[in-house]
Amino acid sequence: MSAPSQLSKDPRNNYFDFGAARQVPETHMWEGLYEHPVVDGGVEAGEDAVPVVDMQDPRAAEAVARASEQWGVFLLEGHGIPSELLARVEAGIAGMFALPTPEKMRAERQDGEPYGYGLPHIASYSSKATWSEGYTLSPASLRAELRRVWPDAGEDYRHFCDVMEEFHRQMRAVADKLTVLFLAALGLAGEQIAAVEAERKIVETMSETVTMHLNWYPKCPDPKRALGMTTHTDSGFFTFVMQSHVPGMQLFRRGPDRWVGVPPGALIVNIGDLFQILTNGRFRSAYHRAVVNRDSARVSVAYHLGPPADVKVAPLREAVGAGKPAYRTVTWREYIVVRKEAFATGGSALEMVSLSPDDHDDEGDGADHISEIPS
């Protein structure tokens, strides 16, 4: 699917007062948003029903395999994260974005900075602005980062930090369990040496690279002309998306081309591009976007997991089998550069790092490791 073909000349997130807007300005107006039909992805939607995986089901690995191969996305149940905690996360994020503009702008992310108040970097790849606000955080520096918003470190600051740190602890525990299910879905039994080693390497690479992006999608006077998040695939291993009970996330599906609305309120898992590389194309990343609503604001949290920026990722030997690697060895840092080029040209980053049967990867066949982490 083609990506936006023109890069913004000013990638910084200059504040726009969404609350005062009575119409969508030209800077935020997107064309062709509804060239393809939008269908419901609920449980009664037949072939368009977004897959559901229950982590407590003894056959969960089979469900993960089907969903990852056919959709690249699934709804996760049985994860054990208290609904009360998720409600507090949503309320805390909504409260933070409701702060006066000068307080949020104290934490504005500047060029070259990975964290702070501002839209995700992918928003800078388009010439149009999105109808959203964002804040990118690393759990490792969460309290120091949020002091930029609340320099007095008062009660609101302490409460929000406590909630987000508990959310991180719960999500990391689920991520580790889901990694085991992913490996089982690839046919690697938990007692096999290869499975144990692959699990250790993947978990270790994700141990210090979690990123949380908080999203706020304000009410929009003309939602058919605005977009909350541009169409994209996630670049890392996989992403959890916690969303509120206001619908907004849509998945792009082919045969025929259509947008499938993801049921609101559920915990979503998106396969990332690097996981597609890791599984040699067996598990597929999915194009998705966020739309906006006339009557209600919407909150979501994207909890991204992936390797350190300079760790080399290549197809697992077990995923390649008797065949050949479909992708060359690449680091996340290198892949982000390729991805930016793909957005600029309307191409596919995955196709740009793919190997033809006659290609030779200078790093070797890439099938016996996910990275250069010593054993």
The Cα–Cα gap between 193 and 57 comes to 25
Contact partners, residue 358, CB within 8 Å, separation at least 6 = none
Whole-number Cα distances in Å, 74 to 52, 78, 96, 122, 190? 6, 13, 29, 23, 22
Closest C-alpha among 15, 131, 75, 65 to residue 282: 65
In the chain, the amino acid numbered 33 is: L
pTM score: 0.90
Q: What is the mean pLDDT of the chain?
A: 88
**Position 191 pLDDT exceeds 60:** no
In angstroms, rounded to a whole number, what is the distance separating the alpha carbons of residues 242 and 214? 10
Confidence of residue 304 (pLDDT cuts 50, 70, 90): very high
pLDDT (average), residues 321-328: 92
Mean pLDDT of 106-113: 88
Residue-level pLDDT at 196? 59
Residue 103 CB coordination number (10 Å):
14
pLDDT at site 374: 30
Distance CA(244)–CA(345), nearest Å, equals 34
Closest-CA residue to 243 (of 218, 266, 211, 270): 266
**Percent of the chain at pLDDT exceeding 70:** 86
Instruction: Give me the catalytic one of 109, 282, 284, 298.
Output: 298
Q: How far apart are CA 16 and CA 21, in angstroms?
A: 9
What is the pLDDT at residue 318? 82
Is residue 115 pLDDT above 90, yes or no? yes
Band of pLDDT at residue 230, cut at 50, 70 and 90: very high
The neighbour count for residue 225, using CB atoms within 10 Å, is 19
Percent of the chain with pLDDT over 90: 71
pLDDT for the residue numbered 121: 77
pLDDT tens-digit series, residues 30-43? 999 999 999 999 88
Q: What share of the chain is helix, strand, coil (3-state, %, to 5)?
A: 35, 20, 50
pLDDT at residue number 5: 33
- Name the most confidently modeled range: 83-87, 109-113, 120-124: 83-87
Taking only the tens place, the pLDDT of each residue in 249-289 is 999 999 999 999 999 988 999 999 999 999 999 999 999 99
DSSP letters spanning 203-263: HHHHTT--EEEEEEE---S-TTT--SEEEE---SSEEEEEE-SS--EEEEETTTTEEEEPP
Residues pairing with 217 in the sheet: 298
Whether 298 sits among the annotated catalytic residues: the reply is yes
Among 45-49, 104-108, 163-167, the range scoring the smallest mean pLDDT is 45-49
Q: What is the pLDDT of residue 266?
A: 85
DSSP 354: B
- How far apart are alpha carbons 45 and 49 in whole angstroms? 5
> pLDDT higher for 123 or 145?
145
* 230 touches 289 (CB < 8 A): yes
- Give yes or no for residue 170 having a pLDDT over 90: yes
